[in-house]
Amino acid sequence: MKTCLPVIALLVATSSCNAQSQPPAPPPSSTVQNSLTDAETAAGWRLLFDGTTTGGWRNYGKPTISDGWKVQDGSLTRVGAGGDIITNDEFKNFELTIDWKIEPAGNSGIFWRASEDSDAIYWNAPEMQVLDDAKHPDGQSPLMSAGAAYDLYPAPTGHVHAGGEWNSARLVVNGNHVEQWLNGFKMVEFELGSRDWDSKVSASKFKPHTRFGKNAQGHIGLQDHGNVVAYRNIKIRVLP
């Protein structure tokens, strides 16, 4: 009689391997904005924004940050024409958590593994969309709605809060594996450089840009898309 035990054992081993390759969920956050709990610190988390200054951030392609970005009410806020901003530091494998609030009908985005060798950050760095789905026209397209990998992987509907309300995002970039979460829901999951990824890039506006999604490491970026947007509790943990 044919036995299935080797197959079962292989599946279990594969599942265990996959499970171990993913980072655990972040420990509970502090009730104090822009701060870390002892558990977060012990787990290797650090703040990218202290809630008081714009230290650690600068404009894309420039040495300083513009006056269009201010700290307001403990949030890093785009208050006027300010351009896209990036972290001074670069990251390869990481887990990022960040809260965002966009004005009604507003649009912004979170970039990752960004380099400064393009005339615009979005020609090399993938973007997690920040949007008021209900009032911005892009919210009608799953490829451009909140939580989507912009123009590549569609986001499910019903998980973003209304314009003017806070949302909590989580981004995991571990080797080629990427997960984007919004308000506790996994919005998209994909593998950089996979056949599926290459197919989607080829069908997108990023096709002519050969460096798109190819950086092994890079900056975290926040987009100025012409709307008031606020970010807080920006925390990152480097992964092995």
228 burial class (0-12, 13-18, 19+ CB within 10 angstroms)?
A: middle
Q: Match 């890039």 to its residue by tokens.
A: 201
Report the pLDDT value the prediction gives residue 26, as an integer from 0 to 100.
72
Measured between alpha carbons, how far is 231 from 51 in angstroms, rounded to an integer?
10
The predicted structure's pLDDT at residue 23? 60
Q: What is the pLDDT of residue 31?
A: 79
Query: What single DSSP character describes residue 186?
Result: E
For 120, the token pair is 């615009």
Alpha carbon distance 165, 154 (integer Å) = 22
Instruction: HSE, CB side, 13 Å, CA atoms: give it for residue 222.
Output: 31
Cβ count near 232 (within 10 Å): 19
pLDDT value for 25 = 67
What's residue 7's pLDDT? 38
Residue 131 phi/psi, 5-degree rounding, is -160, 150
Per-residue pLDDT tens listing for the chain (240 residues): 444 444 334 343 443 344 334 566 677 776 799 999 999 999 999 999 999 999 999 999 999 999 999 999 999 999 999 999 999 999 999 999 999 999 999 999 999 999 999 999 999 999 999 999 999 999 999 999 999 999 999 999 999 999 999 999 999 999 999 999 999 999 999 999 999 999 999 999 999 999 999 999 999 999 999 999 999 999 999 999
Residues with Cβ within 8 Å of residue 77, at least 6 apart in sequence = 69, 70, 71, 228, 229, 230, 231
Tokens matching residue 35: 């701060």
The dihedral sign for the CA sequence 132, 134, 136, 142: positive
Residues paired with 229 in a beta bridge: 78, 102
The CA distance from 193 to 16, in Å, is 23
Q: In angstroms, rounded to a whole number, what is the distance separating the alpha carbons of residues 162 and 80?
A: 21
- Give me 143's structure tokens: 């490829």
Structure tokens that stand for 107 in this block: 């649009």
Strand partners, 231: 76, 100
Other Cβ atoms closer than 10 A to 80: 13
CA distance 187 to 178: 11
